[in-house]
Amino acid sequence: MAESFTPLVDVLGNLDSNALLEQVSGLVALYWGNPADGQSVLDICGGGKILAWFFDPDHEVTSTALVQQGNHYYIWICGTVNVGQWLGNLTGALWPAEYGTKTLVHGFFLSVATQLWQNAQQYLPDPSTTPTITIVGHSLGGGVAQVITPLLIDKYGAANVETLGIAQPRAFTLGLADSTFGPKYYRVRMLGDPVPQLPPTSGDTVVLIVLLTPRFFSIPWSWVHYGKGYILGTDGSLNPDPNDTYWSGAPFTWAVNFNPTLHFIANIAQYVEKGASP
């Protein structure tokens, strides 16, 4: 991280490559670090103070760090690291939970988010100090960040919370207003990465006919993304996502350039670095 807080977007309201690189670097360090060597994360990211690092040796809950930099706080959430979490990613879409009156939320993302939110309460700042919060998640972590964002907005106000999802899957079905996630909710994906296209929309069900089971007919297929989406190019460029909600476009649009390695955070970091200023 820079010595002072860098907003995710520039003065024109576009996602800033340098700010993105700071957050991706934090996640990369978090993936490869551990609580006993927490200072390495801060060394890589340029300073700050780790208030808490939630880390389960069995990886039942993805690794998460809460970092303070003055009156700004970062919440970094890693993605899937083991078979158990992959199973959670799948079953959470098959057995979602109710969210409000018209919407469903991914069951596994909700479970992980609920536990992290409970664990983080003693470390989160008092709203009276008017802190600003940046929550960043990759893959599964992006799904969890989606669920936590409305809670942060309720606590600190929409103007003080910004969210960045990197290669994140869908966490909610159709029916929520974008205001649920505030005006500072951004997503980044790479073309060819299949994860942001999951769970599937209604247009994708024909491809998944092999899942024909008694559950098949009661699975919700209206999963969508919210917020403002960007596509990261292999040259480091950031451009608005033309299929921003992945709802109106053709099913499985990633298939033409299918490349699951574009989902890995280390590879994403290399491409982000190309677009950042020296």
DSSP labels, 85-149: HHHHHHHHHHS-EEETTTEEE-HHHHHHHHHHHHHHTTTSPPGGG--EEEEEEETHHHHHHHHHH
Q: Is the pLDDT of residue 13 over 90?
A: no
| Averaged pLDDT for residues 202-219 | 49
250: its two tokens: 């053709």
| Angle, helix 107-120 to helix 83-94, in steps of 10 degrees | 120
CA geometry: angle at 30 spanning 25 and 35, to 5°?
145
Question: What average pLDDT does the segment 84-93 reach?
Answer: 85
Residue pair 72/134 in contact by the 8 Å Cβ criterion: yes
**Whole-angstrom Cα distance, residue 140 to residue 88?**
10
Pair 148, 124: CB distance under 8 Å: no
| Each residue's pLDDT tens digit, 101-141 | 888 999 999 999 998 999 899 999 999 999 999 999 999 99
On whether the CB atoms of residues 127 and 155 are closer than 8 A, the answer is yes
Q: In the prediction, which pLDDT does 40 show?
A: 53
What topology does CATH give the domain 17-275?
A: Rossmann fold (3.40.50)
Burial of 45 (0-12, 13-18, 19+ CB in 10 A): buried
The 3-state DSSP composition of the chain as helix, strand, coil percent (nearest 5) reads 40, 20, 40
Predicted pLDDT at 108:
93
The overall longest dimension of the chain from CA atoms, in Å, is: 55
- pLDDT mean across residues, the chain: 82
pLDDT at residue 197 in the model: 84
SS3 166: strand
Question: Are the CB atoms for 47 and 40 separated by under 8 Å?
Answer: no
**Of residues 35 and 16, which shows the higher confidence score?**
16
Which run of H or of E encompasses 60? none
pLDDT digits (tens, 9 = 90+) for 65-88: 888 888 999 999 999 878 788 888
Lowest mean pLDDT among 116-130, 194-208, 255-269: 194-208
Model-level pTM greater than 0.85?
Answer: yes
For residue 216, what are the contacts with CB-CB under 8 A and spacing of at least 6? none
For 28-46, the pLDDT digits (tens) are 878 876 555 555 555 555 5
Helices then strands (H, E): number in the chain? Answer: 6, 12
Peptide bond into 96 cis (omega under 30): no
Q: Residue 231 CB: number of other CB atoms within 10 A?
A: 19
Mean pLDDT of 57-70: 74
Q: What are the structural domain ranges in the chain?
A: 17-275
**Cα atoms in the 13 Å half-sphere on the side-chain side of 224:** 18
